[in-house]
């Protein structure tokens, strides 16, 4: 188990990519501990859980860690690629070849996640991914509040039409998700 004391001060401007991944994983596991602790201490919060995605961007790579169906996208020019893989029942169906990604979007159980923070029955198991990036690339992290209501092609279109300024891109994505 990670402790705040072990993590504090470990992430600096000089932290290498491999260490950053380890630290992000430790922070995520600590977050799981905090969610569980809150649910044990307050009965109104019993059973709560959440998903998480985080990223650290270096000049030539991005490190991302996630649990659940929050996602990280890598955007290069007009191409968008989801670099994380959902921890969900529907993603398992896709992986088994039982449904397509297109069918997964509207599947009645697309909100059933198989990993989360706050699951008392299972330890947190964050996935970590490191991807190469280049000048001008965009790393976007989001919850299913965005990727659960907009298909990747819609995200790609909105981003490519509004990529001149991050503020206009964010506003366009927000409006489309609303």
Q: pLDDT tens-digit profile of 148-169?
A: 999 988 998 998 888 778 899 8
Instruction: Indicate the SS3 state at residue 12.
Output: coil
> What residues does 105 pair with on adjacent strands?
none
Mean pLDDT along residues 57-86: 93
Record the tokens describing residue 173, joined without a space: 């994505």
> What pLDDT digit, counting tens, does each position of 88-120 carry?
999 999 999 999 999 999 999 998 999 999 999
Q: What sign for the dihedral angle of Cα 136, 142, 147, 150?
A: negative
Mean pLDDT along residues 28-35: 94
105 vs 45: CA distance, rounded Å: 29
pLDDT of amino acid 165: 83
pLDDT at residue 3 tops 90: no
Q: How far is CA 116 from CA 13, 35, 41, 47, 104, in A?
A: 29, 10, 19, 11, 19
pLDDT of amino acid 166: 85
176 vs 178: CA distance, rounded Å: 5
**Buried b vs exposed e over 2-36: b needs ≥16 C-beta within 10 Å?**
beeeeeeeeeeeebeeeebbbbbbbbbbbbbbebb
Closest residue by Cα to residue 75 from 173, 159, 166: 159
pLDDT of amino acid 2: 55
- Classify strands 61-67 and 127-132 as parallel, antiparallel or unpaired: antiparallel
Confidence label for 28 from pLDDT (cuts 50, 70 and 90): very high
> What pLDDT digit, counting tens, does each position of 134-147 carry?
998 999 999 999 99
> Which run of H or E residues covers position 158?
helix 152-161
């Amino acid at each position: 188990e990670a402790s705040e004391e072990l993590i504090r001060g470990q992430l600096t401007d000089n932290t290498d990519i491999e260490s950053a991944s380890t630290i992000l994983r430790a922070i995520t596991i600590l977050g799981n501990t905090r969610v569980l602790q809150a649910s044990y201490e307050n009965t109104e919060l019993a059973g709560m859980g959440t998903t998480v995605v985080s990223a650290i961007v270096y000049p030539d790579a991005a490190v991302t860690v996630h649990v659940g169906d929050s996602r990280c996208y890598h955007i290069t020019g007009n191409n968008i690629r989801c670099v994380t893989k959902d921890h969900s029942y529907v993603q398992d169906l896709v992986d088994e070849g039982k449904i397509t990604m297109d069918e997964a979007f509207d599947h009645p159980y697309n909100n059933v996640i198989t990993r989360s923070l706050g699951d008392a029955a299972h330890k947190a198991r964050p996935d970590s991914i490191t991807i190469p990036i280049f000048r001008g690339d965009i790393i976007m992290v989001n919850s299913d509040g965005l990727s659960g209501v907009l298909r990747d092609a819609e995200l790609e279109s909105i981003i490519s039409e509004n990529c001149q300024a991050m503020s206009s891109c964010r506003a366009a994505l927000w409006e489309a998700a609303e």
